[in-house]
Amino acid sequence: MRGVKILSTGMCVPKYKLTNEKISTFIDTSDEWIVQRTGIRERRIVTDETTVSLATNAAKEAIKDIDPLEIDLIIVGTVSPDQMMPSTACSVQAEIGATNAIAFDISAACSGFIYASKIAIEAINCGSAKKALVIGAEIFSKVVDWNDRGTCILFGDGSGAVLYGETDENKILAFDVGSDGNLGQTLVLENQPINNLFVKNEYSPSFIKMDGRAVYRFAVNVVPKSITKALEKAQVNIDEIKLFVLHQANERIISSVAKNLGVDINLFFKNLDKYGNTSGASVPIALHEAKGKLKNGDKIVLAGFGGGLTWGSMVAQW
């Protein structure tokens, strides 16, 4: 079985910063209220950017040192594409000139990057690819109800990318992934209803609906278990991990996961104060910003969790 390592990373966020103070001008909230409950101070919101443009710019940064023709596989994790066809991945393929790649999207919400990474890494392991580009890209500002204080304060837009490559010494040590469709209705984004010759439905825009308490209970329970399982598979002790890069959903969730694992919170990277919850983009964006803290050989944990409900953890060596 061929080994795999992280070759490079990239990210792209919209230019416009939407602060808590600005949100408080059109909804009943305050900077203090939002920070205390979430840890978020601002988020990036698109103006003229698209999911494809964000994903493309993140990809270009990640592949700046290689020929795009070397890329064999492109996977984009997104639940907020610009259009259903062509896929975001195919559009990125065209923009970066990766004409030799297979390209497709997957839908696993905030776990999308971890799910896509598992698929890409296993493709390299089995020899069907040598270089794989995995992107998380989301524009949640178009699917939140800006009159709903419970959701609109949480989400931001952005994209992150990681380029994986074949190597003699394997650096991707283990995965743990899972899903529980029985809890799916706690976090929902509906699609266009059936509207054909036989069934008529009035179309109206759909927005994210979330049972925040249920999602919190799910995350603080399943994420520590998933990380522990991944470490056991990797045969790595938790005290060997130099940095934990979790989905940036809520500061309270990250703190609870750290407590449940018995790990110093300072080992958990956080940038949700700047970007909010960017769903499938949050882990690769966080990894890109965290890499300055890492040295060659450091062991790290990446973990995502969210809609589906889904979760996934990955143990890697930098």
Do 41 and 274 contact (CB within 8 A), yes or no? yes
**Stretch 62-66: mean pLDDT, rounded?**
98
- 162 and 240 part of one domain: no
Residues marked as catalytic:
110, 247, 277
Report the sign of the C-alpha dihedral through residues 295, 299, 305, 308, in that order.
positive
Q: How many other C-beta atoms can be found within 10 angstroms of the C-beta atom of residue 16?
A: 16
Q: Percent of the chain having pLDDT more than 90?
A: 92
- So what's the pLDDT on residue 67? 98
- 206 and 297 part of one domain: yes
Three-state DSSP class for residue 318: coil
pLDDT tens-digit series, residues 230-263: 999 999 999 999 999 999 999 999 999 999 999 9
Do 178 and 226 contact (CB within 8 A), yes or no? yes
Per-residue pLDDT band for 120 (boundaries 50, 70, 90) equals very high
Cα–Cα distance, 136 to 264 (Å, whole number): 28
Reading the block at residue 31, the tokens are 């900077």
Cα–Cα distance, 109 to 137 (Å, whole number): 10
CATH number of the domain within which 216 lies = 3.40.47.10
Domain that holds residue 205: 173-317
Please count the residues of the chain. 318
Do 152 and 286 contact (CB within 8 A), yes or no? no
- So what's the pLDDT on residue 157? 98
CA atoms within 13 A on the CB side of 304: 35
- 178 and 165 part of one domain: no
Domain count, the chain: 2
- 162 and 257 part of one domain: no
Report the sign of the C-alpha dihedral through residues 22, 23, 26, 30, in that order.
negative
Per-residue pLDDT band for 34 (boundaries 50, 70, 90) equals very high
Three-state DSSP class for residue 167: strand
pLDDT tops 90 at residue 194: no
Do 137 and 41 contact (CB within 8 A), yes or no? no
pLDDT tops 90 at residue 203: no
Instruction: Return the DSSP state at 125.
Output: H
- So what's the pLDDT on residue 264? 97
